Copies of this chain bind each other. A is one copy, B any other.
Amino acid sequence: MILDERIRVTLADVAAEAGVSKMTASRALRGSGDVSNTNTKKVRQAARKIGYVGNHLASSLSGQRSDLIGVAIPSLANIVFADVLAGIAEAIEGSGLQPVFGVTDYDLGKEYEIIRNMLSWKPAGLIVTGLDQSDDAKRLLANANIPVVQIMDLDGTPVDVCVGFSQRAAGEEMAEALLDMGRKRIAYIGCGVDMDVRAKKRLEGFTERLSRAGLKLAATRIGDGPSGITAGRELTSEVLSEHPDLDCIYYSNDDLAAGGAFHCIAAGLAVPGAITLAGFNGLDILESLPVEIVTSRTPRREIGRTAAKLIVEANNDADKHQSQILKYTPVIEFGD
């Protein structure tokens, strides 16, 4: 494509075409009062005629604030965050806002850079994952003077708004549910790459609840590779060969648990007859699985939607914005 010197159509061109001043053209196109109907019509026609598109850079610079929403998520390999993005996209539909995203790879340094970079766009708001940013990043967020929504976690001190659920409590509740089912010899399987702060918090809650019942994990296995169905299948196979007497495995997420289920099916192990498998997230895949897996359904799409909605509302009426904590609760599902 040859980058020819195309003339740029600016507001001044529209104004000239319509025979009014830049200012009147600006007002007419934004519908911000004080323009006669005649001129409004003339300007609109002129804009359409010469194909005026507008320049967000200029208007945002002038207004000191853009219509961008910054979103920092740790990964896109994890469906959970794709769902969060989907929720965000849904909530901002028609608001004129647009999401910019950055992937942190669970790295606090990258997260800091992403936040810093996003702030220099003077966004209408920021959505970041979790409560555990670096101190530098937290300082940036606190001083940013825009709505900041931290999502997916509640265990900590939010900077501004917080939309999520307690990862600790989710772990505890799952432990409780499994104990209620009479499980005693319980193993934990996670993945190093996926072993983020939140999975750790769940595990803490889980083991704490177990110890209150006088139990400890019968085995713990953290894979090196990335989380996924295949990894779950292999790790389960390994753990079960070392500990054939397990009656339950708690996985850090549903992908791993589904992999575990496939191993059990192949190995002829009845689930949940011989062994109970428990995951986390409530992915669609579990519903159709030929075996029953326990899981905590996380309202991730709702969280994304709510977070974005808060920013949209603050954008429409800045006074309405206030720091708050919106608490969701994952629901335990038994797969039947």
Contacts and interface: CB of A to CB of B under 8 A. Distances in A.
Interface of A: 1, 3-4, 6, 8, 53-58, 60-61, 64, 66, 68, 75-77, 79, 82-83, 85-86, 89, 96, 98-103, 116-122, 140, 143, 145, 147-148, 160, 228-230, 232-233, 258-259, 262, 265-266, 284-285, 287-290, 318, 321-323
A58 B56 contact: no
B121 A287 contact: no
Contact of A60 (B54, B57, B64): B57
A57 B53 contact: no
A288 B235 CA distance: 13
B1 A160 contact: yes
A145 B57 contact: no
A85 B89 contact: no
A68 B99 CA distance: 11
A287 B100 CA distance: 33
Contact of A53 (B1, B89, B116, B230): B116
Contacts of A230: 284, 287-288
A57 B122 contact: yes
29 contacts: A1-B148, A1-B321, A1-B323, A3-B318, A3-B321, A6-B143, A53-B119, A54-B120, A55-B120, A56-B117, A56-B122, A57-B122, A58-B61, A68-B100, A75-B86, A79-B79, A79-B82, A82-B82, A89-B101, A89-B102, A99-B100, A101-B101, A229-B288, A233-B288, A258-B288, A262-B288, A265-B290, A266-B290, A285-B285
